[in-house]
Structure 1
Amino acid sequence: MSSVAEDEPPSIEQLRAFADDGRAWVIADATDTPIAYLILDLVDGNAHIDQVSVHPDHAGRRLGRDLVEYAAEWAVARGIPALTLTTFTEVPWNGPYYERLGFHRLAVERETPGLRAVRAAEAAHGLDTWPRACMRRDLPQGA
C-alpha cells in the first residue's frame, strides 16, 4: 500500500483543467498552504470523485467529508443524479469510510461503461493489486 500512498498527485496542468471547469476544490490552512483537495470528473452523467486527498497532518478533521459534501451540493445544483468513485474496499479510510458517507458498493454488473473504463485505467496503473470497487451515492433530485 505504500506505493499508493506515495503516488504522485495530479500535475498542475491536470488540476488547472479541473479548476477551469469548476470541478476542483482545495482547502488551505491559515498560511494558504493546500491541505486537502477534491477533483471531480463527469462519468456517464454522474459526478465522479476522481481524487480526494487530505494531508496526513490534517487527517481526522473531517476535511475529506466536507469536500465530498461540497461535491454533492455542486452535483445536486446541476441536476446530476449521483456521486460515484472507485476505492480500495479493505482500507478503513477508503471503502468503509465512504459507506459512512452514504455510498454503496456497486455490483460489477451495475457498473456503467464509463466506470468500467475508469477501473481498466486504474488496473493499467497497478491499482488492482488490492481489492477495489466502484461505489455510488444517489443524490436528491429537484432540490
Structure 2
Amino acid sequence: MDEICKNILKEDKKMAGKITNFFRETQLFFSIILTILGILILFLGITGIWYQDFLINVFGLPTEFLSWSLYLLIAGFIVFLAGIWYLYTFLKNRKFILYELETNKRSELIKKHLELKNAVKHMPSKYQNMLKEKEDELFIK
C-alpha cells in the first residue's frame, strides 16, 4: 500500500513540475493576456456603474448583469494589477539577466552569481541555458 501512495505522490510532483514549466515558458504571454483581461473586466465594471444606459443600449446586456458591476470593477482591478505585476517582474528579470550576462569578466559574474541564479530560476529555459553557457565559458561552477 505504501508503494502505491509513493508512486501517486511522485506522479503528482511530476505533473506539478510540468505545469510549472509550462507557465514559466509562457510567462510573458500569460502576463499580457492577464493584463488585457483585467482591462476588459475593469472596463465592464466602470461602465456598469457609471454608464448603465450605454451597456444596455449598445451591447444589449440585461439589467441583472449590471447588478454585478461593482464586483466586476473590483475583480478587474485585481486581475489588472496581477497582470501588470507579472509583466513587470518578467521584464525586470529579463533586463537584469541580459545586462549581467554581457560581461566577459569572471569576477563580475561571480559577484552577481547568486542573484542571477535566483532570477533565472523564475524565467524560461532559454535564460537558464544562457547562464549555463556563460558559466561554462568563464569556468564557474
Which of the five TM-score ranges fits, normalised by the shorter chain?
under 0.3
- Give the TM-score normalised by the residue count of structure 2: 0.24
Instruction: Answer 1 or 2: which has greater helix percent.
Output: 2
TM-score, with length taken from structure 1 = 0.23
Instruction: Indicate the structure whose relative CO is greater, using CA pairs within 8 Å and at least 6 residues apart.
Output: 2
More strand by share: 1
Structure number with bigger Rg = 2
